[in-house]
Amino acid sequence: MIIDLNAFTGHWPSHPVTGDLNSVRASLHEYGVDRICVSPLEAAWCRNPHRFNEALYRTAGTFPDVYPVPVLDPTVATWKKELERATRELRVKLVRLLPAYSPYALEAADELLEALVAENLAVIIQTRLEDPRRQHQLAQVPDIPAAEIANTAERHPALTVIIGGARTGEIRGLKDRLLASPNLYADVSQCDGLDAIKVLVEEGLTEKLLFGSHAPLFIPYSALSRVVTDLADEDAAAILGDNAERIITW
C-alpha cells in the first residue's frame, strides 16, 4: 500500500500547476499510489482558509481513495465550528496547519491541537510550500523551523504530529527528538540530496518517515524515486505506506 500523506489540489498563484483533483490522482496512480491525502492549495493565500475546505469535501467525496485534509487556522474566530464540520466527514483523518501563511506562532494553536486529540485526528504542520529563493518577490513567506513543530509535538504528547515538507538536513538534525517523541513524524516530500532518505534510514529513522509527494507542485516521479531508488524493499515499504497505516486511524 502506498499512502501519500502530503498532496494538494487547486491553483498556485506563482506557478502554473495542473491541480484539479482528477489530474492529481491520475499522476499519482501512475506510480501505484493507493491513498492520497489532499489539502486545498488556495487556502494558503485566503484570509479565511476554511473557505476552501467545503469544496474539497465535495470533490474528494466522489473518490474513495482521496482523503481530504482540511486546513484549520486557530486565528479564525470560528475554527471550532470548522473542526466540528471536519469531524462530520468520514474520510478526514488528519488536518493541516499552515502557520507561515496565516501567520501565527504555533503556541496559538494549542487549544485547537488539544481539540484534535479529542477527535482522534492527526495533524500535519507544513514548514514550507515553496523554496524561499523561488517565491514571488512580493509574496515572500519564511519557513517554519522544523524544530518548532517538534516543540509542538512535545507540548501535545497525545497528538500525532507530522512535520510537513522538511529538508533532509532538518530531519537529520531532529533525529534524537524524533526518536524520543513517539508522536512525532516527518514526511519526506521535500527531502533532496545524494542518498537523502538512505542517510535518514541509516540514522535509524525508518519508522518515523512518511511518504508525501507535494503534488501537484512537485513531480510525482521524483517523489517515488526519492524513496525507492536507494532503499531496501522493506525500508521503502515502511516509508511508502506501512508507517502511515500504523500511525493514522484509517
* DSSP reduced 3-state for 183: coil
Rule CB under 8 A: say whether 229 interacts with another protein.
yes
Candidates 56, 112, 215, 244; binder of another protein (CB under 8 A) is 215
Q: Does position 31 bind another protein by CB under 8 A?
A: yes
Q: Quick one: 51 or 155, whose CB is closer to another protein?
A: 51
In angstroms, rounded to a whole number, what is the distance separating the alpha carbons of residues 9 and 24?
Answer: 7
Omega within 30 of 0 (cis) for the link into 216? yes
Applying CB under 8 A, among 61, 78, 84, 120 the residue interacting with another protein is 78
Q: Which of residues 105-124 bind another protein (CB under 8 A)?
A: none
Is residue 165 within 8 A of residue 124, CB to CB? The reply is no
Should residue 2 be labelled a site residue for another protein when binding is judged by CB under 8 A? yes
Taking the C-alpha atoms of residue 174 and residue 118, their distance in angstroms, rounded to an integer, is: 27
Q: How many residues contact another protein, by CB under 8 A?
A: 54
Applying CB under 8 A, among 63, 117, 154, 169 the residue interacting with another protein is 169
Only one residue has cell 474513495, namely 64
Distances (CA, A) of 5 to 37, 139, 221: 5, 26, 16
Residues that bind another protein (CB under 8 A): 2, 15-18, 31-32, 46-48, 51, 75-78, 130-137, 140, 168-169, 190-196, 199, 215-226, 228-231, 233, 236-237, 240
